[in-house]
Amino acid sequence: MNFQDELTKRTDEIEKGIREFLPKEEGFAKSMAQAMNYSMLAGGKRLRPLLMQETYRLFGGKEKVIRPFMTGMEMIHTHSLIHDDLPALDNDDYRRGRLTTHKVYGEAMGILSGVALLNYAYETMLLAFERTAYPERVIRGLSVMAEKTGIHGMLGGQSVDVENDGTPLTKEMLDYIYRNKTSALIEAAMMTGAILAGADENSVAIIEEAAGKIGLAFQIQDDILDVTSTEEELGKPVHSDEKNNKVTYVTLFGIEEASRQVKELSEDAVSLLKGLNKNNEFLYLLVEKLINRRK
Ligand code: GRG
């Protein structure tokens, strides 16, 4: 298998799948639909839907039920990026290689279209009921998605991050922030993939643990890229952690140790996945490649 070709093929399919569910740009609320679609179609690695789909395949999933969940997941993630870039938060002008949503549509529409995407994610995921013979799995998937996104997940982590901006942090607190603001969505992606394919409780718990490690490795790599990459490569500003006086794995441990931890976490995650005694070579490679990602 040529990993890069497979990645391109699968990402292209995800792009097509996303377009299927986007709101129509019509009627009095047309501008908001345009702002939602602007950010949804701005590219991005589509990592969370990819991880969801590959975990679904790992457990033998074959239904179309996964598609609205993959798109809903990307809508929640995109909402978080739109809001993270707002003047009240990071106040960034560029994301995914283009102007941020509030820069193009104004701050009010940035706020509104972000919330609308979060809501539309659930409207979209509810369509899964029409595509499955196992509605109880959809209910479980929705509840994981809601929990991992809210106060006990992404938003909880983000609130602690914002509240402690520019202040010294212990590793314990930084880990809480990373496990919630970043890992929680990756856990939700992989857990719903497993749940929708009918995985048992024990396997879902192993997936949650592996996804937690992948999320942490991903966020530490994000810290490393903020100091080692360029704006052209990343499609968003670099050195933003320094600008915002942020404590990160790089400021706490240095680049070398932070890179070692990314490698160790990724290897642990792949071992956990392989320990399930199923087979998805592409998924293992995807996790391994995250270590060397440049964007
Ligand atoms: C509701 C006001 C309000 C704010 C919410 C929850 C939130 C803001 C932000 C989430 C925190 C956040 C942006 C965490 C960073 C996670 C991260 C590394 C994002 C970048 O993900 P990539 O690299 O992005 O997958 P692409 O563009 O490739 O999809």
pLDDT for 292: 78
Evaluate: CB of 80 within 6 angstroms of ligand 1: yes
**pLDDT 10s digits, 171-197:** 999 999 999 999 999 999 999 999 999
Atom of ligand 1 nearest to the CA of 47: 25
95 strand-pairing partners: 98
| CA atoms within 13 A of residue 53's CA, in its CB half-sphere | 20
Work out the pLDDT band at 235, boundaries 50, 70, 90.
Answer: confident
Read off the tokens for 89: 């938060």
State mean pLDDT over 149-175: 95
Q: In this structure, which residue's CA is closest to atom 9 in ligand 1?
A: 80
Cβ(137) to ligand 1 under 6 A? no
pLDDT in tens, 52-91: 999 999 999 999 999 999 999 999 999 999 999 999 999 9
Protein residue whose Cα sits closest to atom 24 of ligand 1: 44
Distance 87 CA to ligand 1 centre (A): 15
- The yes-or-no verdict on residue 120 having pLDDT over 80 is yes
Indicate which residue's Cα is closest to atom 18 of ligand 1.
219
Enclosing H/E stretch for 74: helix 66-84
Beta bridge partners of 99: 94
Name which residue sits closest to atom 7 of ligand 1, judged by CA.
80
Q: Which atom of ligand 1 is nearest to the CA of 96?
A: 27
Say how far apart CA 77 and CA 74 lie, in whole Å. 5
Q: Would the pLDDT of 117 be above 80?
A: yes
Q: Please give the angle made by the CA atoms of 109, 32 and 190, to the nearest 5 degrees.
A: 95
DSSP string spanning 178-210?
A: HIIIIIHHHHHHHHHHHHHTT--HHHHHHHHHH
State whether the beta carbon of 221 lies less than 6 angstroms from ligand 1: no
Find out whether the beta carbon of 182 lies less than 6 Å from any atom of ligand 1.
yes
Say whether pLDDT at 244 is over 90. no
Is 166 a residue whose pLDDT tops 90?
Answer: no
Residue 54 Cβ < 6 Å to ligand 1: no
Q: What are the two backbone dihedrals, phi and then psi, of residue 46, each rounded to the nearest 5 degrees?
A: 60, 35
What pLDDT does residue 1 have? Answer: 77
Tell me the mean pLDDT in the region 232-240: 88
Mean residue pLDDT across the chain: 96
* pLDDT at position 58: 98
Q: Identify the band that residue 266 occupies on the pLDDT scale cut at 50, 70 and 90.
A: very high
Least confident among 185-194, 224-233, 235-244, 283-292 = 235-244
pLDDT of residue 294: 82
Ligand 1 pocket test: which of 11, 76, 80 has the largest number of ligand atoms within 8 Å of its C-beta?
80
Residue 236 — very low, low, confident or very high, per pLDDT cuts 50/70/90? Answer: confident
Other CB atoms within 10 A of residue 115 CB = 14
Check residue 295 and give its pLDDT: 86
Residue with tokens 């395949």: 57
- Which domains, and CATH codes, for the chain? 3-291 (1.10.600.10)
